[in-house]
Chains A and B, each alone.
Chain A
């Protein structure tokens, strides 16, 4: 081959390989085309997941844009929901979500942490699975089944309790409500408590098991009882992670839809008593969507979904950071 021809072919080869380098970046240790192609492929998959998350946010904004333009941030504090006059506001369901989740946490947190400590430190190793297995299974039951059970089994029980409470303690302001419905703030809170207990228990147990045994043994050797060792060493040591577990449970309860829709009562008003039926944000979206007949109505519901998404996103970020910082730390990018 003539020298000049060779130079030409070399330079064209060079430009092709440069283009290839741009398209399929070289990886250290491998120059094979197959490897570079494969690397590009799986890289695209990763980028796609990021795009998917961005798409979710963009899509929710696009869907709710009409309502955002029309109501602005006033939507968040609006207390009317009137499809006839086209006036929408999301404060009562937001309050409903908050109250129900608070009740759920008050009930679920002590029970979950108690169970988790018991499972992690008191049950003999061989028996541990026997107890924690049902809890893990419980965490996997679909929420619609919780809802069905809640509606037909739990609500009648709660109705009886509410009627009794009202008859005997009706002079307390927040117990003087419509007790005979059964569905309402209390039922919704109980339902959520039942649903998040296994989740918080399972995560807390895993976190408690990461506490070094030597920490406990050191205190036991100094003459502390087991409970003292747990109270003074284990719980403070695991505190960050336990808070993370609780926040994760909170996030789950705020986003929970079906079960709450079935037992929460679904009434658009600010609650005054523990027995008032009330919407949560998720149940509002679920039950109103089929009736949304014009675009501003639909857009308002998507706006509410956007707000719900924002709240759960913040909570979820917080929980992940707390749990990661403690347990693995390996993926914590914000250390």
Chain B
């Protein structure tokens, strides 16, 4: 056997060993990543499973339609919190949506080098403000001067949470409207403002609506700002100038309370809240995805 052949063979062996090692590293890395993904995905099913299991057992018609009984007494429901959440979030959306939509229109349709970009950047930053801080803000702004907790102050807090989310999602929706449609309208001599209101907004309407819904769903689940704004209320109340009950705040109160009956109701209320939030989220994503496919 010549020296050259031996050299080739040993070189081949070394390459082969290195290649196998590299293959092994690849396998280990992929295995690790599969485990990571499995953990992340299974988290949803575990949490979802428990809420459906514990909440599904406890949820019934009485729970959705009746008022709370005195603490510890079985029976009763969370109707006041359901209605309270709806009123407070609706009021908040009424405040947040026009302003955010206007700002989104400004940023997208009237290009301005400084203001537009700053507003969009600010909105991105505002989404990072902790909801408890938003609650303190609404407390110092509304509750302290008026001297009482109120559903309205809760709406202000929710509005503050919704503004940046609505602004960003509606801006993205407007960005996706092709500019030739605007140009066609303008070429017909239609003023810019009518073009925006009658052409651009209708075209983007589905994406706009899903963006707003997403913000509403996000606000519906926020408990922290309600602690010192809407404050909670065990009685039936439709007057936003008085303290009101909300579903997430009720879950907190009931879950940290001492009665098993309360715990069951907390699971049931979570079940209801989760269904609302998940359905909104799924609808939103379905709408956005089909839009993206077009």
Contacts and interface: CB of A to CB of B under 8 A. Distances in A.
B115 interface: yes
Most chain B CB within 10 A, of A112, A114, A146, is at A114
A194 B117 contact: no
A257 B221 contact: no
Contacts of B50: 149, 153
A118 interface: yes
B47 A149 contact: yes
Interface in B95-136: 98-103, 105-107, 109-110, 115-134, 136
B141 interface: yes
B113 to A, nearest CB: 9
B140 A34 contact: no
B41 interface: yes
Interface string A106-127: 0000111111011100100000
B40 A197 contact: yes
A148 B102 contact: no
A114 B32 contact: yes
Nearest to B136: A305
A43 B106 contact: yes
A312 B129 contact: yes
Contact of A38 (B127, B192, B282): B192
Interface string A196-234: 011001000000000000000000000001111001000
Contacts of A231: 29
A147 B37 CA distance: 23
B223 interface: yes
Contacts of B26: 225-228
A140 B217 contact: yes
Residues of A in contact with B, size category: 35 or more
Nearest to A330: B117
A52 B121 contact: no
A167 interface: no
A43 B110 CA distance: 9
A137 B129 contact: no
Contacts of B248: 142, 144, 258
Interface in A38-65: 38-39, 41-50, 52-53, 55-56, 59-60, 62-63
Interface string A302-327: 10010011001101110110000000
A103 B251 CA distance: 27
A216 B130 CA distance: 38
Contacts of A141: 47, 221, 274, 277-278
A246 interface: no
Interface in B150-174: 160, 163-164, 167
B136 A60 contact: yes
B182 interface: no
Interface string A250-286: 0110111110011000000000000000000010011
A290 interface: yes
Contact of B33 (A117, A149, A153): A117
B265 to A, nearest CB: 11
Q: Is the interface of A mostly helix, strand, loop or mixed?
A: helix
A169 B45 CA distance: 32
B67 interface: no
B270 A145 contact: yes
A4 to B, nearest CB: 36
B228 A289 contact: yes
B160 A282 contact: no
Contacts of A46: 102-103, 106-107, 115-116, 119
Contacts of A302: 136, 139-140
B249 to A, nearest CB: 8
Given A112-B36, A285-B132, 15 more contacts: A32-B193, A38-B192, A38-B196, A53-B126, A113-B36, A117-B33, A136-B285, A141-B277, A143-B223, A143-B224, A228-B25, A254-B130, A258-B248, A282-B132, A305-B136
23 contacts: A35-B193, A38-B196, A56-B133, A59-B140, A114-B36, A131-B41, A134-B44, A135-B44, A138-B40, A138-B47, A141-B47, A142-B277, A144-B273, A145-B47, A152-B255, A197-B40, A262-B252, A262-B256, A286-B132, A302-B139, A302-B140, A305-B132, A309-B129
Interface of B: 22-23, 25-26, 29-30, 32-37, 39-41, 43-45, 47, 50-51, 54, 98-103, 105-107, 109-110, 115-134, 136-137, 139-141, 144, 160, 163-164, 167, 191-194, 196, 217-218, 220-224, 227-228, 248, 251-252, 255-256, 263, 266-267, 270, 273-274, 277-278, 281-282, 285
